[in-house]
A and B are shown apart, each in its own frame.
Chain A
Amino acid sequence: MAAKPIVLEAVNCLRKIHQRNRVLNAFVHVSPEQAVTEQAVAASQRQNSGTPLSPLDGSAFAIKDNICTKDMVTSCSSSMLSDFSPEYDSTVVAKLKSAGAIIIGKTNMDEYGMGSHSTTGFHGPVKNPYSPRLSVYSAGGSSGGSAAAVAANLCFGALGSDTGGSVRLPASYCGIVGFKPSYGLLSRRGLVAYANSLDTIGIFTRDVRSAQLVFDCLNEHDPADPSSLNDHSRSKIKNQAIGSQPSTNQSRQWNIGVPIDYNVAEVSSPLKDAWISTLATLRDLGHHIKPVNVPSTRHAVSSYYIIALAEASSNLAKYDGVQFGPHATAAPKSANDISPSLQLIAAAREKGFGKEVRRRILLGNYSLTSEAMENYFIHAQRIRRLIKEDFDSLFSSPSPLNIQPERPSDSRDSVDFLISPVSISSAPSLEEVLKADGAGVDSYINDVFTVPASMAGLPAISIPVHGYEDLPIGLQVTAQYGDESRLLEVAQLIENLLETDD
């Protein structure tokens, strides 16, 4: 990296954004050229004097528009927040800036992250840079703008957010690396909440090594985020990682699990081929491939939607037209039994939220009502616990979050990672996506591979394995909580396979 002069690189990014963004619609805000150039010059001087702030000094980053950036509108692609210009930088953006990174712009997304194709926002849909001339493909969502920006070489890397796959899916569709670390490692301060027990800051880069650099830059305890993992637990993870290092220099033999429950009929055949051939190559390299059962994942998607939507209905309750959103001045028709002030709030929320967001809020609110709570929300929480227990019983290393000592894991059955597809197919055309919009919750099937790791808070990464001729597609590697170092190691291994294939 940074072989090219920093200033040239940054200026090139801006030039390409101006050339291509009109079509891609990846950026919704681009930083002024003067500011970008000044920062690039400063970084360049540090580079020349041998005092770079970090390996990322001078690299251009795009930031998803639900991650707060000081004095830069952070709209979540919602007209509710169309004029919200935060007075602070989110912790992750602040960390990037102090590492010398240049924030080159904000990227398009599904409204509040609710969607899988970056089509539900008020900025219009993002287009996949791989789209051939005649048809336009989905960039995936909800962080589609960030994925498209990295895939089209408009920046070095990008930040997104992953609630149920919103980083991994667009990375897969756009043929880049999309990394969702363990929940609690990267600070969520400044990430506008969608479902805050699932929301995770994610990283887009074009290779695994770069993803590692960004992760290392951001991976630190943040006291302002109550869900940020504290230093005590972080050192526990670190010790566990050191303990698992091989004593000699010999290459490792991984135990790789293949979840057979994931082999659903909907998986497209090119994707199945890519999955199988990657596993076969890994086996040829001496790694052990083991079929595993994750029975609870069958209920993962339905439970995920109950929990995510319940949390969304709560987190989005603040957008009521009083402080945020269109301020209705007069109540419309008088609905009986509803107070005038509630009518104003209802009017503002109807106007300020798009259709998908309103649908999800309604579903979420319903699942929390006293009549539905037990059957939906509480039941979903139980399944969430089962999912985590299922994963814990699969992995060779115990979760560092578990308090009680683990039973010794049976090395014959346990695995180090799981490898699965990210989605059921490569990117669908935008036309198909928009047509299916009326299908309601049916489209949620696409989340079947990504949701389990989100529910258990596990790290997962999407690696492009099929990036030529056809549309790109990614495979997902999932690891035990906190096992990022080994996850990135195996991700790099798979990435290298792809390069030797070429």
Chain B
Amino acid sequence: MPPSTSILRAHRPFVVRYPGQWVCPSCLTQSRRLHTGTIETSHLQPATAPPPTKQPRPAKSTPKVGGREGTDSKWEVTVGLEIHAQLNAPRKLFSYAATSFNAPPNTRVAPFDASIPGIQPKLNIPTIVPAIRAAVAFDCRINRRSTFDRKHYFYKDQPNGYQITQFYHPFASDGKIVLNELDGLDPSEVVEIGIKQVQMEQDTAKSIFQPSTEDTPARTLVDLNRAGSALVEIITTPSLKSSKHAAACLKKIQSILKASTAAIDGMEKGGVRCDVNVSIQEKGLPGLGRRVEIKNLNSVKAVQESIEAEIKRQIGVRESGGEIEGETRGWDAVRGESRKLRSKEGEVDYRYKPDAELPPLIIDESLVSHIKSTLPPLPDQILLELMNEPFALTLKDARTMVDLDDGARVHYYKAIYEDLSARQDVKQGSKHLGKLIGNWTLHELGGRLASSFIGWLDNQVTAAQMADLLSNLQNGTLTAGNAKRVLDHLVTFNDPTVRVSGLIEEYDLATRSLSEEDDEGLVRIAESIISQYPEKAEQVRSGKKPNLKNFFIGGLMKATGGKVDVQACKKVIEKMFSA
């Protein structure tokens, strides 16, 4: 039973309501966005992950050690995740120091963060806003009253000797996330994963080991900048049945955290960290088996591989007649194996106790409903929207678009779509507008930016320029090839003031118009080409080699410098041979 908090509440709890001056979700998110730096493309889809030299990608060969897990084997696998995410909050959880991840060491430290004796915690109320956004996005019940507890352990990156967390009465519980086809599961599979609780807690400091030099012995340096920053810990129920589901779940949790703007940095930047619990049990037997915890996993790959290896290890132990020990293990990503950190007996007893001086946190329903009504669309909603009319993107393109640049690519895409579909001169229907824009935004523009090493934040090609470009493509002014040439220029100039029409004019890229007058000009050029190759023309006329028409069409295009649309050339050549 959780202990009652101190009876001596010589003070009233924090009651947090909306509206309040401090609630400014957009400010909170913007301030961090600016600092996220250049995008890392290595983990993204091929569209923007350009190998500078066009070598064939080596076939990905992840050894499927756990391929049989939970399906045809006699073992039932159960996995639970504990995910820590840095909240998108401008200040730390219990001090006024600014949240920062790049500042020089020990420059974002308030006295409380440095555990100065006599200094007390003071809840920074705005930090709970992104936490509530996350919990709402996970479909949690927001508990009106929650309390803070201390979790004790000694470590040099833990200046107070304890972490303030919400062990007994978290602010949110009983949520869920649904995994389905959109998350890479088989179309028939829909899995619901329970979220046991979401709690707020403090981050630790960073300790940096420094090997010995000529002047100094080996030592550990402590940087308190991160100490006391606000985290949410998200604990799933032990209900994941495979490493694949665990990986999908982790990815989904990350994308929901990002979409809800609760957390900005993902695992690749250390903004999200994950511990997993793995147990196996013979099918048909009650219980889940003894759980083994693997700590501090820092990528989805590490999570998936460590679970696979752990399942294999546990099955090995059980099948050779051994018992699984409750223990904590660490993952060595390089060697692809885990090693024991401590056994159950050596387990740390965290001596959880209610914090005696922090009042309970009361979250008023008005704030929760405000956050619910202003929650940005979540990844599944965005995906489905992009996959449906009028956009009609494939799942793969929609997924890529959502995953890129914290969703900025989706906004860009929609801006182009809105601009284009409002124009009178855009032919609807000849080619699907949504798909066309998708292709040009992701692959044509994305590929060019990537190969020029331009990050998305530095992309100067505006949505309006893209709309101009695609409008000219749609109405036939530009051939596809010339449209790509114009885009090359736009990316190279990297200048939002450059006009597409100006480029077309300057480089004389416009397709010959198909008026009668120009038609005659084309006919004249075609006549001269045909007369240069009488034998080939004869073979076409006689019907022996009708495909040679393409030779003449190509010749005509060449002669007109690519300015004449292929359809127009074809029409002229057809006309001449049918005459």
Show the binding face of A for B, using Cβ within 8 Å.
67-68, 74, 76, 81, 84, 86-88, 90, 182-185, 188-193, 195-197, 223-230, 232-233, 310-311, 313-314, 316-320, 322-324, 337, 341-342, 345, 365, 368-370, 373-374, 377-378, 381-382, 384-385, 388, 401, 456-457, 481
Contact = CB atoms under 8 A, between A and B. Distances in A.
Interface residues of B, number: 41
Interface string B1-31: 1011011111110000000000000000000
Contact of A345 (B154, B346, B359): B154
A223 B122 CA distance: 8
Given A226-B11, A377-B3, A378-B3, A368 B359 contact: no
A378 B1 contact: yes
A313 B159 contact: no
B161 A320 contact: yes
Given A68-B118, A314-B152, A381-B4, A226 B358 contact: yes
* Chain A CB within 10 A, most for which of B9, B150, B162, B352: B9
Contact of B122 (A226, A378, A385): A226
B120 A224 contact: yes
A337 B342 CA distance: 9
Given A317-B160, A381-B4, A228 B353 contact: no
A317 B12 contact: no
Given A318-B161, A365-B351, A401 B9 contact: yes
A501 to B, nearest CB: 37
A352 to B, nearest CB: 13
Interface stretch (B48-56, B108-116, B366-374): B108-116
Contacts of A370: 349, 351
Given A183-B8, A378-B3, A342 B154 contact: yes
The secondary structure that dominates the A interface is loop
B356 interface: yes
B117 A192 contact: yes
Contacts of A67: 118
A314 B357 contact: no
Given A86-B116, A86-B118, A227 B11 contact: yes
Contact of A230 (B4, B11, B114): B11
B351 A196 contact: no
A183 B356 CA distance: 12
A196 B10 contact: no
A337 B346 contact: yes
Nearest to B354: A381
B498 interface: no
B3 A189 contact: no
Nearest to B114: A323
B113 to A, nearest CB: 11
Contact of A317 (B11, B120, B162, B359): B162
Contacts of B119: 189-190
26 contacts: A84-B117, A86-B118, A183-B8, A188-B120, A189-B120, A192-B117, A193-B118, A195-B356, A224-B122, A226-B122, A226-B123, A226-B358, A227-B10, A228-B11, A233-B11, A311-B353, A313-B152, A316-B161, A318-B117, A322-B159, A322-B222, A341-B220, A368-B351, A377-B3, A378-B4, A381-B7
Contacts of A227: 10-11, 120, 357, 359
B150 A314 contact: yes
B447 to A, nearest CB: 49
A226 B357 contact: yes
Given A314-B150, A337-B346, A345-B154, A183 B10 contact: yes
B269 interface: no
In the A-B complex, the 10 residue pairs with the closest CB atoms:
A317-B161, A184-B10, A197-B356, A368-B351, A190-B118, A192-B117, A318-B115, A227-B357, A378-B3, A457-B8
A68 B116 CA distance: 10
Contacts of A316: 161
Contacts of A381: 3-4, 6-7
A67 B119 CA distance: 11
A192 B118 contact: yes
Contacts of A188: 120, 357
B339 interface: no
B155 interface: yes
Given A189-B119, A378-B1, A381-B4, A457 B159 contact: no
Contacts of A182: 10
Given A311-B353, A317-B154, A318-B115, 12 more contacts: A68-B117, A191-B118, A195-B356, A197-B6, A226-B359, A229-B11, A233-B12, A345-B154, A374-B1, A378-B4, A381-B3, A385-B7
